[in-house]
Amino acid sequence: MSLQEKLEALKHETLAKIEAATDLVALNQIRVETLGKKGPITEVLRGMKDLSAEERPKVGSFANEIRDALAESLEARKEVLEINAMNEALAKERIDVTLSGKQMPIGTRHVLTQIIEEMEDIFVGMGYQVVEGYEVERDHYNFQRMNLPKDHPARDMQDTFYITDEILLRTHTSPVQARTMEKHDFSKGPLRMVSPGKVFRRDTDDATHSHQFHQIEGLVIDEKVTMGDLKGTLEVLMQQMFGADREIRLRPSYFPFTEPSVEVDVSCFKCGGQGCNVCKQTGWIEILGAGMVHPNVLEMSGIDATKYSGFAFGLGPDRIAMLRYGVNDIRDFYHNDIRFIHQFKGE
């Protein structure tokens, strides 16, 4: 076989190998084997010195031609394989962006928190500040400063859990009145505050009683505050909570810390006053206690009762939530049954 024939055969053989190469590593192997320093073509070119002067250029240019053809074919095949490799990677690493994601469960605020915040918003809109009190309170603030001295008979209605004789779980949010009054600087303007929070009583738990429940206390003190201001304020609150058509009604009552004291009813939001199961056929729903702050309470907090007057009220968010959502058992609020809690998704 002549040298040319050998080279020709090498070319065909190598082209076939290149065509058959399925990956870049194999292709590189072929390149090194055929075109590399120890490859057959280099060998032919190196052996040219033994050829005759007339054969040498012919063989030389033929060998170069073959080398160029192979290099070109290697390059073309390399491009194809690179594109294939990329397509393969793309297919393998493909992300299906249309797949639905993992559902992240979103919690919900407790219905009582929702009610309390809703009422806070209404009062903040009327210029009140929201004040926090202490759940563990002194007898002094819970009772004495609210005009309930030791052995006052009205203490019976509010028995509680005692930590010591002087420290107890507060029975109402009213002690926040005394704590706020004694700190207030009237040269900076009137006192307007609401204070929501937990309260505790030594009650037997039943559908309408829980040893722990909530109250929102309200207090306004300024010169010339009247019962008309109280009525107007509570009317706005009830209309915002239960609908623009609501009316309120005041009935005389008794609380040691207010004089006069009233029990406040709101016209039934369900039947509008006709009588139904919510209002027990009366057309009215008892909703809160209120009154004009007793002069004793003012004086004990260092406020001149001849110059200042005020009103106060206390209402129960638990009861409001029960009425509004038809919850029959107050204890449902405190069992932390997630199915109950999730019924009040809010906004």
Among the residue ranges 81-89, 122-130, 283-291, 333-341, the one whose residues contact ligand DAH (CB under 6 A):
283-291
Encoded one letter per residue, x for contact with ligand DAH by CB under 6 A and - for no contact, window 126-165 reads ----------------------------------------
- Shortest spacing between CB 245 and ligand DAH, in angstroms: 26
Q: Segment near ligand DAH (CB under 6 A), from 93-101, 179-187, 287-295, 332-340?
A: 287-295
Tell whether residue 259 is among the known ligand binding residues.
yes
Q: What angle do CA 242, 246, 247 make, to 5 degrees?
A: 140
Phi, psi torsion values for 205, nearest 5 degrees: -70, 130
Contact between 217 and ligand DAH (CB under 6 A)?
A: yes
Look at residue 265 and give its three-state secondary structure: strand
Q: Token digits for 185?
A: 């600087």
| Helical (H) or strand (E) element with 260 | strand 258-267
Report how many residues bind ligand DAH under the rule CB under 6 A.
11
The verdict on 255 binding ligand DAH (CB under 6 A) reads yes
Distance of alpha carbon 338 from alpha carbon 342, whole angstroms: 6
Applying CB under 6 A, the span of 71-79, 241-249, 272-280, 286-294 interacting with ligand DAH comes to 286-294
Q: Does 192 bind ligand DAH (CB under 6 A)?
A: no
- For ligand DAH, the closer of residues 41 and 318 by Cβ is 318
End-to-end CA distance of the chain: 92
Distances in whole angstroms, Cα of residue 17 to Cα of each of 6, 59, 216, 269, 309: 16, 24, 89, 90, 105
- Asked if 314 touches ligand DAH (CB under 6 A), the answer is yes
- Cβ–Cβ under 8 Å, residues 164 and 136: no
From the list 291, 300, 303, 320, which residue makes contact with ligand DAH (rule: CB under 6 A)? 291
Please report, as a single letter, which amino acid is at residue 325: Y
Distance CA 76, CA 78 (A): 5
Residues binding ligand DAH (CB under 6 A): 172, 174, 217, 255, 258, 289-291, 312-314
Which residues are annotated binding-site positions for Mg(2+)? 259
